[in-house]
Structure 1
Amino acid sequence: MSRDTHRIMPHEDGWQVKRDGGQRASRVADTKAEAERLGRQISRNQETELQVHRRDGSIHRSDSHGNDPNPPKDKA
């Protein structure tokens, strides 16, 4: 099953929040921290996966705000 994902990625004007399959950035911010804050809000509202990338394109962090296929186990 494919996950719906928003990504924080470099952009020519700073950092962008972009949904997979989208042609344009949802938001563009000057800093990575600001893009992460905006992206996290969008991802929570739309219940998507959020992947934060490094400048080289590799994934730095990934968070699920929707139906996580591998939720953490409760500690009893």
Structure 2
Amino acid sequence: MSRKAIHVVPSADGWAARRPNAQRSSGNASTQAEAMKIARRVLGNDGGGEMRIHRPNGQMRAADTIAPGNDPRKSKG
């Protein structure tokens, strides 16, 4: 079973929350923080998953598990 994911990536108009291999984004925003809020909302409504955040150059910088998804890291902190 594949894990649900949304990538927060730079776009022509600012930032986009986009699923892998999708032709259209789930949402667009002028700032990265706004796109992250969109990604959290979409994943939360979809049952959880991974939010992967990219830098302006496209390189991935962070990942976050959105509840009720399963966090692969067992410890807190």
Normalised by the shorter chain, which TM-score bucket? 0.7 to 0.9
How high is the TM-score relative to the length of structure 2? 0.81
Q: How many residues align?
A: 73
Note if 1:57 corresponds to 2:41: no
Pairwise CA RMSD of aligned residues? 1.6
Name which one, 1 or 2, has greater alpha-carbon Rg: 1
Unaligned runs of 5+ in 2: none
Q: With structure 1 as the length reference, what TM-score do the two structures score?
A: 0.82
List 4+ stretches of structure 1 deviating above 6 A: none
The one-letter code matched in structure 2 to 1:67 is N
Aligned to 2:8: 8
Contact 1:51 1:62 in 2 (8 A): yes
Offset, 1:25:
0.6
1:19-64, Cα deviation, whole Å (9 max, x unpaired) = 1121111100011111111111112222121001001111121011
2:17 aligns with 17
Note the residue ranges of structure 1 that are not aligned, 5 or more in a row: none
Identity level (%): 36
- 1:67 is matched with which residue? 70
